[in-house]
Structure 1
Amino acid sequence: MPESAWKFLFYLGAWSYSTYLLFGTDYPFFHDPPSVFYDWKPGMAVPRDIAVAYVLQGSFYGHSIYATLYLDAWRKDSVVMLVHHVVTLVLIVSSYAFRYHKVGILVLFLHDISDVQLEFTKLNVYFKSRGGAHHRLHALAADLGCLSFCLSWFWFRLYWFPLKVLYATSYCSLRSVPDIPFYFFFNVLLLLLTLMNLYWFLYIVAFAAKVLTGQVRELKDVREYDTAEAPSPKPRKAEKPLRNGLVKDKRF
């Protein structure tokens, strides 16, 4: 629960700020994706409001690599999640360094909304059964959150992301800047991000199939292990026996 609460607060704030940049300012990136490359120049100045978003997101994903390994619950997709955090951090740092920050804001906006809904849903799943009672309000919020999460994942990450971001980076970038540097580097990373979005969408489809066939009656995160089968991300060191052949009791 604390893990989901922390992520929900961060993603809600980060997505709200990205939404403000795209719809509350004069930036036309969402409605006109090719505009992210219209006036591109190497070493161009990064607006302060966009730089703030980059500092926050870069710090978060740098921390997330450590958190996935040592703090968060280990899940069935934790290895893919770790790769995702590394790819995202590389994209954030490199897009800032090479001044592709305009398309970066668009990428962050299209991804963070799904994480807001995921963590909101998980929080309500945890809250609906507590104190020996079933709380219908949290159960309803979890069901609605799950539905909106599934729809937003498809719409934002699998429809709008290729339509707006990949179209701008793979096609429009060459039309605006024919010799644009690091073309293949950034597009390969963005394509890898798309493949990971498809990978996680399979979890969504698998969960929906189990619900429709009656295999799952209770809303839960299908990526999580049962308590008895949860593995550790790192193997535990073997206990060293004492001179008398016994193993030292850690309580003493």
Structure 2
Amino acid sequence: WREMVRLCVRCISPSVLTETPWLWNTRHCWYNYPYQPLTTDLHYYYILELSFYWSLMFSQFTDIKRKDFGIMFLHHLVSIFLITFSYVNNMARIGTLVLCLHDSADALLEAAKMANYAKFQKMCDILFVMFAMVFITTRLGIFPLWVLNSTLFESWEIVGPYPSWWVFNLLLLLIQGLNCFWSYLIVKIACKAISRGKVSKDDRSDIESSSDEEGSEETPRKKPHTATTTNGTSGTNGYLLTGPCSVDD
């Protein structure tokens, strides 16, 4: 049931951002900053994501302890801090892009887990391959070229230097470092899958092959959720607004 809840949370992002102008042009994330209105749907989307990562933080201590426990704990801690920090500093626009980008791969991961638990091995293998392709494309390609380019350069050009710029970008770069580490583990799993003919134990998460669970001595590992970092809206500068977002001039 946890995977089903996670899958539902991951699928919300596209519906929230479809009508927003900053999805198609990241420069809109910084026009009129920090005096940008916060719509009701974005507000509740932030609350949902924050509560979700808090639940992951606590459930990590009750789950089977994996070898990547420390990395996962750091990831959850940074994600919670980034979501809170971005909300307080009214960076919800760029924050929703970060969340949507990371959720796109995680949705496939949760689907692969459910297929594995249902013992649909071929479906699990297909979903894992799709997850690996989307993960590497979004986090090693789109995230640095699209999101980090906007936070590092477009924000500096449009808004100018501001105190939170340094902290925010440092945390995003830390998330990118974790993305590189997990991409290495995913490639490692993919190489093992090619040699064995199926997805076996996951060195980074709980995509565990049911057949491997029965016959292997190695403890399966739990796949960490990628840093879903976000930027948020300020409780002082932002305000709740009903209706669609308008394009900034």
- Specify the alignment match of 1:16 in structure 2: 11
1:182-221 correspondence runs (5 A): 182-212=164-194, 214=195, 217-221=198-202
RMSD between superposed Cα atoms in Å: 2.2
Deviation for aligned residue 1:96: 0.3
Gaps of 5+ in 2: 207-212, 220-249
Aligned with 1:146 (options 119, 128, 137):
128
1:162-177 correspondence runs (5 A): 162-177=144-159
Relative CO higher for 1 or 2, CA cutoff 8 Å, sep ≥ 6? 2
Gaps of 5+ in 1: 129-137, 231-252
Deviations along 1:97-118, whole A, 9 cap, x unmatched?
Answer: 0000101100000001221111
- Specify the alignment match of 1:34 in structure 2: 27
**AA at the equivalent of 1:127:** A
Q: Which runs of 4+ in 1 moved over 4 A?
A: 215-218, 224-230
Deviation for aligned residue 1:79: 1.1
**AA at the equivalent of 1:182:** S
| 1:118 maps to 2:119 | no
Deviation for aligned residue 1:148: 0.5
Q: Percent identity?
A: 31
**AA at the equivalent of 1:189:** L
Q: TM-score of the superposition, structure 2-length normalised? A: 0.78
Q: TM-score of the superposition, structure 1-length normalised? A: 0.77
Which of these two proteins has the greater Rg computed from alpha carbons? 1
Q: Distance in 1 between matches of 2:75 and 2:39?
A: 27
Instruction: Note closer, same or farther for the CA distance 1:224–1:164 as it changes in structure 2 (3 Å cut).
Output: closer
Higher mean Cα deviation, 186-195 or 58-67?
Answer: 58-67
- Specify the alignment match of 2:74 in structure 1: 83
- Specify the alignment match of 1:132 in structure 2: none
Number of aligned positions between the proteins: 212
| 1:157 maps to 2:153 | no
